[in-house]
Amino acid sequence: MCLGIPVKIESLEGEEAKVNLSGNILRISTSLLDDPKVGDYVLVHAGFALQKIDEDEAKKTLDLLKELGMVSDNS
């Protein structure tokens, strides 16, 4: 039910975006977002984009894991 997937906005017309989900083009509404742009990765649920991804935070989460990896190797 809470299934949400990160997808890329391929095109935007008003509040309607086209996103590519495993090769299928889905029409979704961006009416819940402020200032969506083509190229943004957004979280989609029940036909609506709920949030834009924070790419810096995504990178930080993965970098933190790499650090943890280094810690576990050394201990």
Partner 1 sequence: MKYISEFRDTKQVKELSDIIHKLSKKEISIMEVCGSHTMAIHRFGIRDLLPSNINLISGPGCPVCVTAIDFIDKAVELAKMEDVIITTFGDLIKVPGSYSTLEKEKAAGADVRIVYSILEAIDLAITHTDKNIIFLAIGFETTAPSTAAGIMKAQEMNLKNFSVLCAHKIMPPPMKAIIEEGIKTDGFLAPGHVSVITGIEMYNFIVDKFHKGVVVSGFEPIDILQSILMLVKQLEENKPKVEIQYTRFVKPEGNQKARDLVENVFDFTDASWRGLGTIQQSALKIRTEFEQFDSEKVFDIKIGKTREPKGCICGQVLKGLNRPSDCKLFGKVCTPENPTGACMVSSEGACHVFYRYGAN
Q: Kindly list the residues in this chain that would bind partner 1 in the complex (CB under 8 A).
A: 1-6, 8, 22, 28-29, 31-34, 41, 43, 45-48, 50-51, 53-55, 57-58, 60-62, 64-66, 68-69, 71-72, 75
End-to-end CA distance of the chain: 41
Q: Which residue do the tokens 């935007």 mark?
A: 12
Shortest distance in whole angstroms from residue 49 CB to partner 1: 10
Shortest distance in whole angstroms from residue 55 CB to partner 1: 8
- Pick the closer one to partner 1 by CB: 25 or 69: 69
- Pick the closer one to partner 1 by CB: 11 or 70: 70
